[in-house]
Amino acid sequence: MTITEIAPDIYRISTYVKDIDLQFNQFLIKDEQPLLWETGMKQIFPAVREAVAKIIDPSTLRWIAFSHFEPDECGSLNEWLQLAPQAQALCSEVGALVFVNDAAVRPARGVGKHDLIDTGRSKFRFYPTPHLPHGWDAGFLFEETHRTLLCSDLFHQLGDVEPSTQSDVIDRARHAMQTSQRTPPFMDYMPWTPKTAAQLRELAALHPRICATMHGSAFEGDGERALLDLGVVMKEVFGTP
């Protein structure tokens, strides 16, 4: 497990699983109201908790946030809620309604489009993106001060790669998408829908400086161009011929 500060007070916590050649990353925002983006699976909770403890007291976490209901996104949600008595799950309104409030030990805060989450020095805006990357409850957080997009499975990369890069990650993402289609169980894990292109254009219009992906290196640079290029590749790989 590695810990890297990818932006002021935004820490990337990464676990590499060799058997599937994939990193699982969480992002901790150290602030007046600390926020953890993505929890990881239950199996890695002890290691992630230990990593968080190197930065803050884990019991002081205020927000446990994630894109959509899936084990690597929120598998250890209840463990975190039990550890941090003031913590609350933070997810889309759809996620809270149809998934999280049935599974979590405390009700979630469901947020709608453009809702602001003020953690102190950082200001996050929520963007719902149904079925991007997947799940009708999906959405992203954008930190407006340092222009960091917490982008879940977008820019998914294989391998034990560096914490962040300024190099183009599109070829890596294309390789991961193509590999998912030719390696059992043949996962079309990011659907191309009639709304996908518009959703990616909306995220690109935020002009992110850092795209913090769950699987692979965070990208530093022209996030607008990267997201638009990602859309081209997604349509190429997952779209209807």
pLDDT digit string, tens, across residues 78-120: 999 999 999 999 999 999 999 999 999 999 999 999 999 999 9
Q: What is the pLDDT of residue 186?
A: 67
Position 36: which residue type? L
Which domains are assigned to the chain? 2-238 (3.60.15.10)
pLDDT digits (tens, 9 = 90+) for 10-47: 999 999 999 999 999 999 999 999 999 999 999 999 99
For residues 171 and 158, the answer to whether their CB atoms sit within 8 Å is no
Q: What is the pLDDT of residue 187?
A: 74
Contacts for 109 with CB less than 8 Å, ≥ 6 apart: 63, 88, 89, 90, 91, 96
Angle at 45 between CA 41 and CA 47, to 5 degrees: 125
Q: What mean pLDDT is reported for the chain?
A: 96
Rg (CA), the chain: 16
Q: Distance between terminal CA atoms of the chain?
A: 40
Q: Is 144 helix (H, G, I), strand (E, B) or coil?
A: coil
pLDDT digits (tens, 9 = 90+) for 140-167: 999 999 999 999 999 999 999 999 999 9
What average pLDDT does the segment 59-69 reach? 98
